[in-house]
Structure 1
Amino acid sequence: MASRISELVIDCTDPDRLAAFWGGVLGYVELGREEDGSIEIGPPGAGFGGPQPTLVLSPGGGPRSGKLPLHIDVNATDRDQSAELERLLALGARHADVGQTGEESWHVLADPEGNEFCLLRTRLPPL
């Protein structure tokens, strides 16, 4: 037996804004809201416990400084990396500098609250 990741929790100042952003990035839908303001999003028709982890956007994130110790990597499923980069920027992502050289095969981006994530080059098949 082994464990698997069922959900990722992101502390943030505006759960609605990040739920909309990450829902657009991943094609996720809102699965539920908690009284504390947390919003869970996940794949349509699967939800918690499905083949992909859900995201929980939880209020309480304060200002931070420095590179995050953990980040999310994403891959396009239906377009090349350049087209996906444009789509992510249109959703509200922005370029982030974490010390990369410019020779990397990935793009370092930040979500609307500054959480870094990477867009990798390889296109993956949709689930």
Structure 2
Amino acid sequence: MTTNKPLSGLRVLVVEDEYFVAQDVAIALAQCGAQIVGPVATLPEAMELAREPLDAAVLDINLRGMLVYPLADLLASRGVALVFATGYGAAAIPARFEHIRRCEKPVEIGEISAALFPGGLFCSSALRS
């Protein structure tokens, strides 16, 4: 991997119901080399895409009134790296997800990539959403 494309070859699912936020996250991750799956805005769409091979996922918690936790459970059971990109505080997230990093909106892509890949993959492209 090159330093300017640290996420090269990694498949990242983007689940976000705010169109512009979803596009910003997807574009920024793609610029870091990730292959974007989605973005999708609903839990049923996300559950369908979760059947595909994935390396990581960026999840908003509340998708048009539906909580993303069933998807997070599924992906976590498969060993997919997860990050919650949300306006929800830590207290609103169930204890079973306390090990999953939470990036508060507005988020920066560097924060997301560091949360997903703490082993050193880092993308410096800024994202404001």
TM range (shorter): 0.3 to 0.5
Q: Which is richer in helix?
A: 2
TM-score w.r.t. structure 2 length? 0.34
Q: Which is richer in strand?
A: 1
TM-score w.r.t. structure 1 length? 0.34
Structure whose CA Rg is larger: 1
